[in-house]
Amino acid sequence: MAKTALVVDDSTTMREMVSYSLKEAGFDTLTAGDGQQALDVLQGKSVDLIISDLNMPVMDGITFIKQARQRDELKGVPILMLTTESQAGMKEQGKAAGATGWLVKPFNPEMLLKVIAKVVP
Amino acid sequence: MTFMAEFRDAFFEESAEHVAAVEQGLLALDSGAADSEQMNAIFRAAHSVKGLAATLGFPEIAAFTHDMESVLDRLRSGTLAVTPKLGQLLLRANDTLKALLAAAQAGQGSEVDTAEVTGELRAALGAPTTEAETVVAPQSTPAAGAPRTYAIRLLPKRQLFASGQDPMLIVRELTELGHDVSVVCDTTRLPAIDALDPDLCHLIWVVKVTTTASRDEIANVFLFAEDECEHSVRDVTDDPSRAGVAAHAPPLKTPGSDGKPVAAEAASIRVPTDKIDALVDLVGELVISQAMVNQIASDFDMGRLGELQEALASLDRSTRDLQERVMSVRMLPVATVFNRFPRLVRDVSNTLGKKVRLEMQGAETELDKGMIERIGDPLTHLVRNAIDHGLETPADRIAAGKGDTGTVTLRAAHEGGSVVIDVADDGRGLNTKRIREKAEANGLIRPDEVLSDDEINALIFAPGFSTAAQVSDLSGRGVGMDVVKRNVEGMSGSVTLTSTEGKGSRVRIRLPLTLAILDGLIVSVGGASYVLPLLSVVESLRPTPRDVRNILGSGEVLVLRGESLPFVRLHAVFGHDVAITEPSRGIIVIAETDGRRFGLLVDDVLGQQQVVIKNLEANYRKLDGVMGATILGDGRVSLICDVQELFRWTTTRREAAEQLLAAVSTSGEEFA
């Protein structure tokens, strides 16, 4: 069965680019435009990977990761943050919130797959 | 590069939205109405453009946006104060970004000069910042030299799983670093089964691998797990016990990025998923209805007529729904156009020294994408005009007993089957007397011509008419009111103007909901059917023989409630030999175009119907008096009349007659 990934980003294009790369890698993808939407999408669903932007409206990525980790079914799911080099300090905050790793923008599909291999069996 | 090509269009589309959002946000900031969430939104928009541009390989845009973002970040965090000057700078920067995007979209590289704005942005930050770190090169430093053997011990914290880590993946990555791999699992931390918490990690691993990888590369494997998994690396190359050989983990398959076709440069449209879902549902219903009809038809007798009618009714309903929904896919809110106006109004009013408040209503009204793209310029001209010519200076307004701030209102709304967009101002209104003088001077009307105020005001739409007392900085941009009118009429729309002297004026643009479908009146002429756009039809009637007169100089006219209207015989226009030529035996349809009414003689009126417009020029060639064709329910092709052109048919004939008249110098004789 194909693995499912959730992509959370307020930028539609970024969301589509990450989803596209994931689909190429054989994932089914779900998307959400902010943390709250992501929590709603995850309601009653299990996923194999979550990739989330940090700076988003309504609910930011750090809050989302913290809340996701509160849910039993999401405790062990790998969560990657989408960060940029200029967001120093965000990695630490994200890790503290429960993120598994990070993906640095600008990303390319090859890089994404390398990082995913680190966290998804 | 396929990945880029795939998302190029989406990037430009989304970036345009972000640029618009930044502009709106900055304007709100300017008026002091921005809160921290809005500040955040502006930052996010710039941040998104930067991330996308860098990912899609537009380093110039990414670098430029980086500077914008830095300033916005400082504003957001409050370490930089919002000043009008800084607001202006950011607006200029946003304009530059817009230009950069446009140039990139057009495929032109470094046409846009960013140096000045970049310099000012960096100056605003207080220090000359170094070049933006936009493109991060993957750090792959191949370690040369002879392979070494390492023993790597993984000691995960018990809470490792809580952060989504999988120690086996780390082990696997280590084994893939080289060859002669052995993995030993240490289970000494493992508690008894009844005390075991499966959410915790109790195992310890030792991986031995012979590799050319450097210690940094090994450390890199633990990149995400630095805090959750202690590890030690010991060089055991010279250790005699290194000969442990274990099975190689299967190599990770690298999914191939098979060459996707390069996305065409076609215009794209973003459709909300719920609209598509609704379409899929409807198609499902349509298929069911069709199956019902088929089933009844395969075994039909008159006893099942009722059933058939019911099934057909449901088919009809589904088809109509589907048509509406498919059309709605092309619909965009007029907000996409309206959003440019706060900035425009601000700039224009600053230049002219007028105080203007812009009110926008009904921005959520939806309009066909094609029209959204074409309505921008006419509206811009109208808004500019309203401020330039319509609104008075603050001093004049106070003298006229009004507040010093003028109001320009943009309003969009659905009205019947069309969309109405008003551009209104509460300024001085049109000076009918001056318009008349000007029109006479320009030879548009004769001094003795009797015209109502509305008819005179409508003259500002005539080609070559300009009312500006002096050529201001803003007028004379090459788009006159006549072009506005032509643009709108090119979309099968109409423009009307109402004005009250001293109170203001309002230009109303009426547009069909879509360019693809038209509400038509089906008429028959000489056995063929024609479609008249319902939007231009006022009424239809059967005249008595006394209503139709022949006036020298005006040709045939219909006298309707005391008014003489010219009329056109459609059978003559389209060359039908066998048709009703006696008006009192046929029907005259009264149509209106450019605020003038005229009659069209047809044999009969068959009914009203929505028709799909097919372009005749693309399939055949341009025909006079015809705007397109359609296929009616019975499968026959029917021409759609261009009412505006048909009206010219009456005037050209009249003008020809007038010339004749002038030649024989008789006037106004009436023939019964």
Among B141, B175, B196, residue at a domain's last position: B141
Q: Is residue B671 assigned to a domain?
A: no
pLDDT for B668 equals: 44
Tell me the pLDDT of chain B averaged across its residues. 79
Task: Note the pLDDT tens digit of each residue in B269-310.
Answer: 777 788 888 888 888 888 888 888 888 888 888 888 888 888
Residues B425 and B289 in one domain: no
Whether the pTM exceeds 0.90: the reply is no
**B669 falls within a domain:** no
What residues contact A102, with CB distance under 8 A and at least 6 apart? Answer: A80, A81, A82, A83, A91, A94, A115, B224
Q: Is the same domain home to B566 and B498?
A: no
Residue B247 domain-assigned? Answer: yes
The answer on B491 and B535 residing in a single domain is: no
Nearest Cβ partner for B169 among A21, A108, A118? A118
Could you read off the pLDDT of B646-670 as tens digits, one per residue? Answer: 887 776 665 665 565 565 554 444 4
- A-chain CB neighbours of B59 within 8 Å are none
Taking CB atoms and an 8 Å cutoff, what residues of chain B touch A86? 66, 69-70, 133
Tens of pLDDT, residue by residue over B472-516, are 434 443 347 888 888 888 787 888 888 888 888 899 998 887 667
- Residues B644, B542, single domain; the answer is yes
The answer to whether B250 contacts chain A (CB < 8 Å) is no
pLDDT in tens, B410-424: 999 887 667 899 999
Tell me, yes or no, whether B578 and B638 share the same domain.
yes
Per CB-CB distance under 8 Å, the chain A contacts of B221 are: 118
Name every chain A residue with its beta carbon within 8 A of the beta carbon of B227.
Answer: 95
* Structural domain includes residue B265: no
pLDDT at B248: 35
* CB contact residues (below 8 A), chain B span 128-187, against chain A: 133-136, 138, 161-166, 168-170, 173
Report if residue B51 sits inside a domain.
yes
Q: Is B667 inside a domain boundary?
A: no
B526 within 8 A of B576, measured Cβ to Cβ: yes
CA angle (A24 as vertex; B222, A11 as ends), nearest 5: 80
Can you give the pLDDT of all 121 residues of chain A as single tens digits?
688 899 999 888 888 888 888 888 888 888 998 999 888 888 878 898 999 988 888 888 888 988 888 888 888 888 988 887 666 677 778 888 888 888 888 777 888 888 888 888 7
Domain ranges, residue B322: 273-329
- What domains sit in chain A, N to C, each tagged with a CATH number? 4-119 (3.40.50.2300)
Contacts A85 to B, Cβ<8 Å: 133, 136
CATH number of the domain where residue B154 is located? 3.30.70.1110
pLDDT tens digits, B202-253:
888 888 888 888 877 888 788 787 777 788 888 877 765 544 433 333 333 3
pLDDT at B34: 60
Is the Cβ of B59 closer than 8 Å to some Cβ of chain A?
A: no
| Spatial CA neighbour of B602 closest among B616, B590, B617 | B590
Q: Could you give the percent of chain B with pLDDT greater than 70?
A: 84
pLDDT, residue B256, reads 36
Confidence tier at B579 by pLDDT (50, 70, 90): confident
C-alpha span between B524 and B605 (Å, rounded): 6
Q: Is residue B528 domain-shared with residue B503, that is, in the same domain?
A: no
Contact residues, chain A, for B43 at CB < 8 Å: 55
Taking only the tens place, the pLDDT of each residue in B179-203 is: 788 888 888 778 878 778 878 888 8
- Domain assignment present for residue B666? The answer is no
In a domain, B267, yes or no: no
Q: Which residue has the higher pLDDT, B411 or B555?
A: B411
Q: What is the ipTM of this complex?
A: 0.80
CATH of the domain at B434: 3.30.565.10
Regarding whether B352 and B501 lie in a shared domain, the answer is: yes
Residue B546 sits in a domain whose CATH number is 2.40.50.180
- On the question of pLDDT at B530 being above 90, the answer is yes
Does B492 lie in the same domain as B528? no
- What CATH number is associated with residue B25? 1.20.120.160
CB-based contact, B10 to chain A, within 8 Å: yes
Report the amino acid identity of residue B199: D
CA B514 to chain A, closest CA, distance in angstroms equals: 27
Asked if A106 and B54 come within 8 Å (Cβ–Cβ), the reply is: yes
Residue B167 in this model has a pLDDT that exceeds 60? yes
Say if CB B11 and CB B56 are below 8 A apart: yes
Residues 256-315 in B contacting A (C-alpha not used; CB under 8 Å): 257, 270
Query: CA-to-CA distance for B167 and B205, rounded, in angstroms?
Result: 9
B52 plus B135 within the same structural domain: yes
- pLDDT band of B57, cuts 50, 70, 90: confident
Residue B511, CA distances (Å) to B187, B372, B381, B420, B536 in order: 77, 11, 17, 6, 12
What is the helix (H) or strand (E) element at residue B397, kind and residue range?
A: helix B394-399
B2: confidence class by pLDDT, cuts 50, 70, 90: low
Q: How many CB pairs under 8 A join A and B?
A: 118
> Are B29 and B82 in the same domain?
yes
Same domain, B645 and B545: yes
The verdict on a CB contact (< 8 Å) between A117 and B252 is yes
B168 Cβ neighbours under 8 A, 6+ residues apart: A121
Spell out which residues of chain B touch residue A13, defining contact as CB-CB under 8 Å. Answer: 7, 10-11, 13-14, 52
Residues B225 and B371 in one domain: no
Task: Please count the structural domains in chain B.
Answer: 5
Q: Which of B3, B51, B138 sits opposite A84 (nearest CB)?
A: B51
